[in-house]
Amino acid sequence: MTTTPSRPVFPPGLGLSAVEVLTTTRAVRRRLDLTRPVPREVIEECVRVAAQAPSGRNRQRWDFVFVEDAATRAAVADIWRRGLAVPPAGIEGPQYSRMNFGSREWTRIRISLDHLAEHLHEVPLLLIPCLRVGSRAELSTVRGQAGAWGSVIPAFWSFMLAAREHGLGTAWTTCHLSYEREMAELLGLPYDTVVQVALTPVAYTIGTDFKPGPRAEPGAFVHWDRW
Ligand SMILES: Cc1cc2nc3c(=O)[nH]c(=O)nc-3n(C[C@H](O)[C@H](O)[C@H](O)COP(=O)(O)O)c2cc1C
């Protein structure tokens, strides 16, 4: 059932501009405050913002599963760590990736990833965004996939942007999906009709000063009229 709020509710945040939020929402792994609880009201506000994202036919097929219970977080983190050890699919090469895996930038990411792996169970909240599907066959074509992922990822990213505005850090991860079914069983998700999309830690950040990250210049990826 869809409702239109009579007025948007925006509790005070950091007061960042849209461009600041868009350019400084980093993957936060080392600067997560593991000691400060995250109030549910703040999460509810971020989710309310996220729900304004577009989705195919405005079906809003997303579900946000937050894990707060300490024992469950530990079990989730254990699955995530095992997923991290599984090599990701796909070939890495200059024609395919703009990341140089021999670079200092990659070393920095690796170190921060190891830190997150060590502490994931201590993060106050873990979020797994999900998508409802008629069946997993929906994901068997590119059009089906585009409609499916496109109907949940904008909302997830909006959540991460709203979290940043409220002083919370997030980091998009997908490694646990190597064990998606096991995670579904742990959290009681119906595997056949609910697809997990990612997992992010959610915690207040240590300091709120984040800068734009290293990215290719537009000339490297913008095409006009032809490839
Ligand atoms: C689809 C996707 C999958 C990702 N998977 C992981 C992951 O499994 N583990 C992790 O620590 N970060 C993961 N990341 C985070 C990226 O490493 C991060 O977005 C990228 O390095 C840019 O970081 P920055 O915005 O802080 O510069 C993922 C990001 C995306 C969008």
DSSP string of 81-150, one letter each residue? HHHHTSPPSS---TTT-S--TTSHHHHHHHHHHHHHHHHGGGSSEEEEEEEE-S-GGGGGSHHHHHHHHT
Average pLDDT over residues 156-167: 98
* pLDDT over 90 percentage in the chain: 86
Higher pLDDT, 99 or 137: 137
How far does residue 224's CA lie from ligand 1's centre (Å)? 28
Per-residue pLDDT, 57: 97
Helix, strand, coil percentages (3-state) for the chain, rounded to 5, are 45, 15, 45
Average pLDDT over residues 99-116: 91
Q: Are 51 and 60 in contact (CB under 8 A)?
A: yes
Which ligand 1 atom lies nearest to the CA of residue 109?
21
Average pLDDT, integer, range 64-87:
97
Per-residue pLDDT band for 98 (boundaries 50, 70, 90) equals confident
Is the pLDDT at 8 greater than 80, yes or no? Answer: no
- Which of 119, 159, 172 has the most ligand 1 atoms within 8 A of CB, as the residue to mutate? 172
Amino acid at residue number 107: T
pLDDT at 10: 58
Q: Ligand 1 pocket: which of 24, 174, 179, 197 to mutate (most atoms <8 Å of CB)?
A: 174
Cα distance between residue 154 and residue 50, in whole Å: 8
Q: Work out which ligand 1 atom sits closest to the CA atom of 27.
A: 26
Q: Does residue 159 carry a pLDDT above 80? A: yes
With 60 as the cut, is the pLDDT of residue 12 above it?
yes
User: What pLDDT is stored for residue 97 in this prediction?
Assistant: 84
CATH T-level fold of 32-89+99-207: NADH Oxidase (3.40.109)
Average pLDDT on 90-118 reads 86
Contact 191, 112 (CB under 8 A): no
Cα separation of 86 and 159, whole Å?
27
State whether residue 173 is helix, strand or coil.
strand
Name the one residue in this structure whose structure tokens are 């990822």. Answer: 153
pLDDT tens for each residue of 19-57:
999 999 999 999 999 999 999 999 999 999 999 999 999
Name the residue of 149, 173, 175, 180 whose CB sits within 8 Å of the most ligand 1 atoms, as the mutation to test its pocket: 173
> Who lines ligand 1 at CB under 6 A?
26-27, 109, 113, 116, 171-175, 213
pLDDT for 94: 65
